[in-house]
């Protein structure tokens, strides 16, 4: 007779995501996972596979959740320029208020794993393509409404916004001056004028 699981798989996956996000993949041991998740090693292996499989599932959950939130946020914005400013402002505020200074999980994974993990490189490249498409589509909305000039190179602007968004997430880990960071946002957004 199979064992009945005595834990919620989604909640446990979310907790694993938080641990990997805070500590990184390599610095998180299987014992750390057992202790933090409150389930035994055999349950982790039976439910998720090994540490790498659990990490991959947790990272996928993070990406899926963030993508949905980003798209929902942008879809709710009437003004492209104001919407982008609010997006960056929210990212800065989130980073500044994060007492653990975790930063962005995608950026953390990029710096920790991409140098030696070709599979993760492909995942990160796909994430970049998704972000740039999302920014491109949002900017295109601004062109259609007349808020952004049709002469602007939307593809290049989407790439710049992606790069800047990642940069803000990194800088916000060490620079808690929201006013200065927002001044940088305002400067970058002049590219849309």
Q: Which CATH class is domain 1-58?
A: mainly alpha
Instruction: Tell me which fold the domain 77-192 belongs to.
Output: Tetracycline Repressor; domain 2 (1.10.357)
Distances in whole angstroms, Cα of residue 147 to Cα of each of 83, 120, 155, 188, 193: 12, 37, 16, 16, 8
The secondary structure of residue 172, as a DSSP letter, is T
Categorise residue 146: left if φ over 0, alpha if ψ from -120 to 50, beta otherwise: left
192 alpha-carbon distance from chain centroid = 24
The secondary structure of residue 78, as a DSSP letter, is S
pTM for this entry: 0.90
Q: What tens digit of pLDDT does each residue of 90-146 get? A: 999 998 888 888 989 999 999 999 988 999 999 999 999 999 999 999 999 999 999
Domain boundaries, the chain: 1-58, 77-192
């Amino acid at each position: 007779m199979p064992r009945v699981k005595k834990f919620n798989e989604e909640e446990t996956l979310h907790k694993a995501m938080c641990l990997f996000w805070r500590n990184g993949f390599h610095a998180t041991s299987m014992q750390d996972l057992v202790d933090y998740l409150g389930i035994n090693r055999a349950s982790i292996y039976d439910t998720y596979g090994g540490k790498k499989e659990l990490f991959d599932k947790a990272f996928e959950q993070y990406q899926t959740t963030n993508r949905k939130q980003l798209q929902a946020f942008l879809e709710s914005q009437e003004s492209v320029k104001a919407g982008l400013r609010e997006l960056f402002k929210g990212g800065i505020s989130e980073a500044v208020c994060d007492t653990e200074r975790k930063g962005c999980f995608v950026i953390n994974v990029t710096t920790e794993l991409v140098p030696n993990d070709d599979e993760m490189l492909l995942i990160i490249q796909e994430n970049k393509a998704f972000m740039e498409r999302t920014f491109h589509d949002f900017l295109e909305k601004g062109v259609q409404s007349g808020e952004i000039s049709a002469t602007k190179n939307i593809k290049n602007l989407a790439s710049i916004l992606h790069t800047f968004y990642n940069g803000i997430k990194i800088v916000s880990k060490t620079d808690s001056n929201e006013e200065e960071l927002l001044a940088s946002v305002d400067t970058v957004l002049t590219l849309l004028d």
